[in-house]
Structures are given as structure tokens and as C-alpha cells.
């Protein structure tokens, strides 16, 4: 099952900062940053359990992350991935001459992948061309 016509936003989170204290390659960091948060009604459209791996697609790339529901948002039609290696796979790299990629407002689609593998930060970066 998949959901199309979503808008992806990113930013840093407190949980992500706490998890990074233990190291970039820890399970805690993966669980804090390799996630896609959904509005609860949007998540129901996937028809899977919370925690099921999902593949997020944008015009700029794709990435496998764990699914979650946020009680504080995002709102319907919006998904959220914390800034970091996983979000960097799908954000718009155009910095519009300011040196920072476009972290908000990318059109995205999401597909549930129940048997998908979410890579840790080192594994993910090692898959990049030239790494």
C-alpha cells in the first residue's frame, strides 16, 4: 500500500539530539532519526502497524525508515523525517545559493515495506556513490 501527494518537512528534534549523545551509529539514533512521522489518519491509509518500515520517495531520492505516528503533528498530508542522513537522501539539494538544502516542502510518496531493512547511519552512507 502506498500514499501519494504528501509534503515532506524536516528539522532537528530533541529525541534526535539525545540519541546522538550515544553515537551516530547506535540503535537509539536510528530509532530517533530514521523515522517518518505521519498524521494518524494518513497512517491508517497504509494499513500496517506503527514501526513498519516505509520507503519515502521524492524527486530527489528515496530512503527506508521506520513509520511512526506523531501526537503533536504533522497535520494531514504532511510527513516528517528528522534532519540527518536519512532525510538527506530525499531533500532537495538546491541551496538557492545559501549553502543549505531545501529541508521543507518536498512532494513525497510513501510505500509500506513490511520486510524492508532500515540501515544505520554508517550503512546508509556507505551505499552512496563514491563512498
Q: What is the CA radius of gyration of the chain?
A: 14
Most confident of 20-34, 62-76, 77-91, 97-111: 77-91
- Rounded CA separation 19/55 (Å): 23
pLDDT digits (tens, 9 = 90+) for 54-66: 999 999 999 999 9
pLDDT digits (tens, 9 = 90+) for 88-129: 999 987 767 766 667 788 999 999 999 999 999 889 999 887
Based on the structure, what is the number of domains in the chain? 1
Higher pLDDT, 12 or 129: 12
Q: What is the CATH number of the domain that holds 36?
A: 2.40.40.20
Q: Residue 115: inside a domain, yes or no?
A: yes
Q: What is the DSSP track for 14-40? A: HHHHHHHTT-TTSHHHHHHHSEEEE-H
Q: What is the DSSP secondary structure assignment for residue 99, as one 8-state letter?
A: T
Residue 104, domain extent: 2-126
pLDDT for residue 12: 84
Amino acid at each position: 500500500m502506498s500514499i501519494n501527494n504528501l509534503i515532506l518537512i524536516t528539522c532537528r528534534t530533541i529525541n534526535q539530539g539525545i540519541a546522538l549523545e550515544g553515537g551516530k551509529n547506535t540503535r537509539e539514533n536510528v530509532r530517533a532519526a530514521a523515522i517518518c512521522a505521519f498524521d494518524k489518519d494518513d497512517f491508517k491509509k497504509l494499513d500496517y502497524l506503527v514501526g513498519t518500515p516505509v520507503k519515502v520517495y521524492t524527486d530527489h531520492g528515496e530512503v527506508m525508515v521506520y513509520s511512526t505516528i506523531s501526537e503533536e503533528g504533522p497535520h494531514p498530508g504532511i510527513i516528517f523525517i528528522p534532519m540527518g542522513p536519512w532525510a538527506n537522501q530525499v531533500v532537495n539539494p538546491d541551496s538557492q545559493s545559501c549553502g543549505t538544502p531545501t529541508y521543507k516542502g518536498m512532494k513525497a510518496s510513501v510505500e509500506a515495506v513490511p520486510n524492508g531493512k532500515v540501515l544505520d547511519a554508517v550503512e546508509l552512507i556507505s551505499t552512496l556513490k563514491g563512498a
